Amino acid sequence: MPFGLFGIVENLTLLTDLYELTMLGGYFAQGKIEQKAVFDLFFRHPPFNSTFCLAAGLEQAVDYVLNIHFGKEEIDYLWNLHLFPDDFLDYLKGFRFTGDIYAVPEGRPVFPKTPMVVVKAPIAEAQFVETALLNFINFQTLIATKASRVYRAAEHGNVIEFGTRRAHGPDGAVSATRAAYIGGCSGTSNVLAGMKFGIPVKGTMAHSWVMSFQKEIDSFRKYAEIYPHACLLLVDTYNTLASGLPNAIIVGKELEQKNFKFLGIRLDSGDLAYLATEASIELDEAGLEDAKIIISNNLDEEVISQVHADIRSMARLKGIDGERIIRRLIYGVGTHLVTSRGWSALGGVYKMAAIGVDGRMEPKIKISDNPDKTTDPGYKKLYRFYENGDMQLDLLTLSDEEMRVDESRTAFHPQFPWKRMSLPAGSDFELMHETIIKDGELVYKLPNLVEIQQRMKQDLERMHITYKRMTNPHLYKVSLSAKLSNLKQRLLHEQRAEMNNFHDPAIHI
């Protein structure tokens, strides 16, 4: 059995929590499987100090939904659990997703409590896809968002994803690489991700290459001889400034004398700001002005910002051009990027928004002791408004509201309806949800990764700098339409009235 653990990939249908199946069995037993329901997938808090996330993972989620099928192995396994009746297992054999999925495309900024994905389907199907949708979208959205922070800290320089060896398993590496590209990375060391997604692959040598020679310079010369077009030398195996850098400069000059381009050096330890500054000066003095300096070693957005600040300070003291040093940097970012250090999971949730009752969709609200966790009810759409070309606010409406350009409207705070603002007629807005799957069929052309990254860059250009900063960013407004706000307040008061018979002294209900 080759790749025992990856037998899983022939059929991912059972990538689900058991309770999705017990509930599905419950709906089946009641004859309720065809009852329509609407679920929203959203997150409550962006990771780190970000104002927004970058949507990612939709393509894999869609792949999953379109390919759900319970084969013999799955049915046999479930039968052996002695939990489900035979008629239900028979029903599963023909189970498919036949509903609709609306979603914000990958690479677009998304904000807390706005539905990134809306599933409208028979309740059995809509419920069943919960776990897998969350798995794909939580992870890739998290990593794309982390990558966006790193990319912004690198001042839109070249960030290469280097994290395969510390990622969460093989797919944790490959999918993280995909998401990192969406967030702004320009390449990866991961060859499998390169092959599967067309992401440019990068990399040269490890310390072990240098150590496999008696002398460091011999290891450099041999590498330059074999890869004259891709010669980038790791200079910190023994002593960066006393040995690695002078040896690299010798070999770099030899290479350029043979009319090849010397790509540069990599620093993987020590004080990166200090070493990069010194290396830049010495490379220039040797006439290797175009050589790049790759820095790596536990980089993340904070370390990169600090390296930039320190290079600028040191350059100022030396009276040289710090911007030039920074422009020649390339950032190899591994562990902290692909495992999202400091915020290892996005807490996306999947909540029922409406359910079909007697042929109409009845909006549902989940009230929590914590008002922050109370959901927005109903089958909804998400619009984004722009002011002078910049993103202004996101507006949630009920799906049957007409949105006419020539009408003004009022946007209501989602929790405090007395807080509101006017959106004049003629405002520029767009519907953020694309119809991805309709009646179980893919009706959307999934963009490739380059297109997704381009869209991300276009969107970030339309976002004011105050939303993009690393620390204490400005809060972006997400508002409700008048109709949705009224519905929410009505349901809150109705449910409050129902709860009057409850009497828990510890809790405001």
Residue 2 C-beta: closest distance to a second copy, Å: 5
Check: CB of residue 363 under 8 Å from CB of residue 377: yes
Q: Which helix (H) or strand (E) holds 360?
A: strand 360-363
Residues 234-263 that bind a second copy (CB under 8 A): 237-243
Tell me the two tokens of residue 13. Answer: 């249908």
Residues numbered 17-36 forming contacts with a second copy, rule: CB under 8 A:
17-23, 25-27, 29-30, 32, 35
Candidates 4-12, 150-158, 387-395, 412-420: pick the segment binding a second copy (CB under 8 A): 4-12
Q: What angle do CA 470, 473, 479 make, to 5 degrees?
A: 140
* The two structure tokens encoding residue 342: 């400091």
202 lies in the site for a second copy, by CB under 8 A:
yes
Q: Which residue, 322 or 348, is less far from a second copy as judged by CB?
A: 348
From residue 43 to residue 62, what is the string marking binding to a second copy with x (rule CB under 8 A)?
----------------xx--
Among 48, 217, 228, 230, binds a second copy (CB under 8 A): 230
Closer CB to a second copy, 74 or 302, in the complex: 74
- Lookup: tokens for 298: 């536990």
Does 217 bind a second copy (CB under 8 A)? Our answer is no
- Position among 49, 212, 408, 422 found at the interface with a second copy (CB under 8 A): 212
Minimal distance, residue 392 CB to a second copy, in Å: 32
Binding to a second copy (CB under 8 A): which residues in 460-499?
A: 499
Q: Smaller CB distance to a second copy: residue 187 or 467?
A: 187
Bridge partners for 101 per DSSP:
119, 437
- Taking the complex as a whole, the smallest distance from the CB of residue 449 to a second copy amounts, in Å, to 12
CA distance from start to end of the chain: 56
Q: How many residues bind a second copy, per CB under 8 A? A: 129
Residue 447 contacts a second copy per CB under 8 A: no
Q: What is the token pair recorded at 68?
A: 């759900």
Tokens encoding 84: 């489900």
94, 208, 418, 461: residue in contact with a second copy (rule CB under 8 A):
208
Give the nearer residue to a second copy in terms of CB position, either 229 or 360.
Answer: 229
> How far is it, in rounded angstroms, from Cα 383 to Cα 182?
22
Residue 348 within binding range of a second copy, rule CB under 8 A: yes
Q: Is residue 368 a contact point for a second copy (CB under 8 A)?
A: yes
- Among 345, 421, 425, 465, interactor with a second copy by CB under 8 A: 345
Question: What is the torsional sign of CA 240, 244, 249, 250?
Answer: positive
Least Å distance, CB 111 to a second copy, is 20
DSSP for 254-301, please give it. Answer: HHHHTTPPP-EEEE-SS-HHHHHHHHHHHHHHTT-TT-EEEE-SS--H
Residue 200: CB atoms within 10 Å: 11
d(CA 16, CA 125): 12
Q: Distance of CA 342 to CAs 2, 143, 345, Å?
A: 36, 12, 9
Residue 385 CB, nearest distance to a second copy (Å)? 31
The residues in 155-174 that bind a second copy, with binding defined as CB under 8 A, are 162, 164-174
- Which range touches a second copy (CB under 8 A), out of 342-350, 391-399, 452-460, 485-493? 342-350
| Minimum distance, C-beta of residue 172 to a second copy, in the bound complex (Å) | 4
Exactly one of 205, 248, 293, 478 binds a second copy (CB under 8 A); that residue is: 205
Cα separation of 488 and 494, whole Å?
Answer: 10
Sheet with 158-161, edge to edge strand ranges: 187-188, 158-161, 329-333, 292-295, 264-267, 232-234
Residues 113-132 that bind a second copy (CB under 8 A): 123, 127, 130-132
381 binds a second copy (CB under 8 A): no
The answer to whether 56 touches 43, Cβ cutoff 8 Å, is no
Binding residue for a second copy, selected from 89, 217, 281, 355, defined by CB under 8 A? 355
CB count in 10 Å sphere of residue 112: 18
- Asked if 135 is part of the footprint of a second copy (rule: CB under 8 A), the reply reads yes
Please select the residue that binds a second copy; options are 44, 45, 96, 196, rule is CB under 8 A: 196
Considering only residues 281 through 310, tell me which ones interact with a second copy, judged by CB under 8 A.
none
Cβ nearer to a second copy, comparing 63 with 459: 63
Q: Which of residues 62-81 bind a second copy (CB under 8 A)?
A: 63-64, 67, 73-74, 77-78, 81
**Helix or strand or coil: residue 63?**
helix
- Map residue 313 onto helix, strand or coil: helix
Torsion angle defined by CA atoms of residues 45, 50, 55 and 56, in that order, rounded to the nearest 10 degrees? -100
- What are the beta bridge partners of residue 376? none
Nearer to a second copy, 82 or 404 (CB): 82
Q: Is 38 in the site for a second copy (CB under 8 A)?
A: no
Helices 245-257 and 272-285, packing angle to 10 deg = 40
